[in-house]
Amino acid sequence: MVRNQCDIRDLSYPELTAYLDSIHEAPFHADQVFEWIYQKQVRQFDRMSNLSSGLRAQFKGHFILFEPAVLQKNVSSDGTVKVLFELQDKEKIETVMIPASQRVTLCVSTQAGCKFGCRFCASGIGGWKRNLTCAEILSQILAMNRITEARRISHIVFMGVGEPLDNYDNLIKAVRVINSPKGLNIAARRITVSTCGIIPMIKKLAEEGLQIELAVSLHGFSDESRNILMPVNKKYPIKDLIDACRQYSEATRRQITFEYILIKGVTCTEKAAEGLGRLLKGLLCKINLIPCNPVSEFDYEPPSRDQICSFRDQLQRLGVHATIRTPRGKDVSAACGQLRHTI
Catalytic residue check, 163: no
Neighbours of 146 (CB within 10 A): 11
Closer residue to ligand SF4, CB minimum distance, 17 or 333: 333
Closer residue to ligand SF4, CB minimum distance, 33 or 118: 118
Q: Contact, 183 vs 177, CB < 8 A?
A: yes
Question: Is 131 a binder of ligand SF4 (CB under 6 A)?
Answer: no
CB of 113 to ligand SF4, least distance (A): 8
Q: Which of 25, 35, 94, 196 is catalytic?
A: 94
Q: Which of 114, 245, 292, 336 is catalytic?
A: 336
Question: Is 260 a binder of ligand SF4 (CB under 6 A)?
Answer: no
Spatial strand order of the sheet with 285-291 comes to 69-75, 81-86, 92-99, 104-107, 155-158, 191-195, 213-217, 256-262, 285-291, 321-324
Catalytic residue check, 336: yes
DSSP helix/strand/coil, 321: strand
Question: Is 231 a binder of ligand SF4 (CB under 6 A)?
Answer: no
CB of 128 to ligand SF4, least distance (A): 9
Q: Contact, 130 vs 111, CB < 8 A?
A: yes
Query: 127: number of CA atoms within 13 Å, CB side?
Result: 1
Tell me, by CB under 6 A, how many residues bind ligand SF4: 13
Question: Is 123 a binder of ligand SF4 (CB under 6 A)?
Answer: yes
Nearest-CA neighbor of 290 among 310, 260, 313, 331?
260
Question: Is 339 a binder of ligand SF4 (CB under 6 A)?
Answer: no
Q: Contact, 260 vs 301, CB < 8 A?
A: no
The DSSP letter of residue 105 is E
Query: Which residue among 48, 68, 81, 124 contacts ligand SF4 (CB under 6 A)?
Result: 124
User: How far, rounded to the nearest angstrom, does the alpha carbon of residue 166 sit from its chain's CA centroid?
Assistant: 12
Query: Which residue among 7, 10, 136, 163 contacts ligand SF4 (CB under 6 A)?
Result: 163
CB of 119 to ligand SF4, least distance (A): 8
Catalytic center residues: 94, 336
Interface positions with ligand SF4 (CB under 6 A):
114, 116-118, 121, 123-124, 161-163, 196, 217, 336
